[in-house]
Amino acid sequence: MNNKAVLVVDDSFTVRQQVGLTLTSAGYQIVEACDGQEAVDALRAHAEVAMVLCDVTMPGMDGLEFLETIKGDAAGPPVPVVMLTTDGSPDLIARAKRAGAKGWIVKPFQPHLLLAAVRRIAGEPG
Amino acid sequence: MAPGDSNEARLTELLCLSAATLLADLGVQPEWRTGVRQPPPTGESVAAFSGFANNELRGSFALLGPRKLFARLHPLPQTMTLRDWADWARELVSQAVGRFCNRLLAYGVQLATSVPQGALAKEVRLASSLDPARSPILFTIEGLVLEGWLELDIAPSFRLEESPLHEARAALREGTIVFF
């Protein structure tokens, strides 16, 4: 068990719920956001967030814009960000990588593999 | 068959395969067919659609089916509440279109997708705005029917390659996890 918080950014309540159940079962806390702007605000409001799982296609600020916004002029985002999306386009993946993302997951995901990915990014034993 | 018809037929087949494999990943084995219409569904239905476009090809894919069917496909059916129906339908159509676009990358076709939309309805019936004679794609799942409507607006200059030629540009497959 652990007390790390993961920010889950997706416009789909179903996906946020699915990810949330997967991670809370392993002891993670969950913070949710519906789009990129909400995610920017959530990162400011929740210092306990240690990692972000973020969709790409969302209304308003999308996931890649969110990633580029929080990176700003720094070398990378303030916390690890993994994109979780239906899109597998190499161009988008390259853009995310340039903006400092730590990984890319193509939906749909297997819960145990998602949990393993989160643990790996968090530096925890699988 | 004119070249444009061939493009449309092959794009439709790719979409059908994309949707069918998605449904299989959700634990059902759909049978799909085209060329027939269903009577208007009775009772509460769920509909959702998502668009896609580039300079030569634009369109949308819509899904329409009974609530019971969307519940069957939901990853956490025991947790569903009223607000989940349309949300899940949006996610489902988004994943189907995403899979279709991922397949097309290997043919050198890159499409931008829209944010999906969804709605709950009663006795709703979809039809093609581009071709009134068009029939839906019907996915039969455990006795329930999910209608899929693919709208395509194809520029005369568009040509879909006969086979995937751009393996280097191919998209990551669904379920793939990569670390940077």
Q: What is the DSSP string of B97-162?
A: HHHHHHHHHTTT---EEPPPEEEEEES-----SS-TT---EEEEETTEEEEEEEEEEE-TT----S
Which of B76, B97, B172 to probe by mutation at the A interface, max A CB count within 10 Å? Answer: B172
In this structure, is residue A66 part of a structural domain?
A: yes
In this structure, is residue A126 part of a structural domain?
A: no
Domain interval for residue A90: 5-121
Q: Could you tell me which of B170, B161, B146 has the C-alpha nearest to residue B26? A: B146
B172 contacts chain A (CB < 8 A): yes
Q: Please report the pLDDT score of residue B1 as a whole number.
A: 47
Split at pLDDT 50, 70, 90, the class of B168 is: low
pTM of the model: 0.90
The number of residues making up chain B comes to: 180
Q: Please report the pLDDT score of residue A3 as a whole number.
A: 76
Q: Please report the pLDDT score of residue A57 as a whole number.
A: 94
Among all residues of chain B, which has the CA nearest to that of A58?
A: B115
Give the nearest partner residue to A108 out of B25, B88, B180, using CB atoms: B25
Quick one: tokens of B152? 């395509």
Residues 6+ apart with CB under 8 A from B55: B155
Number of domains in chain A: 1
Interface TM-score (ipTM) > 0.95: no
B21 contacts chain A (CB < 8 A): no
Chain A partners of B79 at a C-beta cutoff of 8 Å? 17
Task: Return the CATH number at A19.
Answer: 3.40.50.2300
Chain B partners of A106 at a C-beta cutoff of 8 Å? 102, 171-177
Domains in chain B, CATH or no CATH each: 3-155 (3.40.1550.10)
pLDDT tens-place string over residues B96-112: 999 999 999 999 999 99
Please give the Cα distance from B120 to B5 (Å, whole number). 33
Q: Please report the pLDDT score of residue B180 as a whole number.
A: 94
Split at pLDDT 50, 70, 90, the class of A7 is: very high
Give the nearest partner residue to A106 out of B84, B91, B173, using CB atoms: B173
Chain A partners of B115 at a C-beta cutoff of 8 Å? 11, 57-59
Which of B84, B95, B177 to probe by mutation at the A interface, max A CB count within 10 Å? Answer: B177
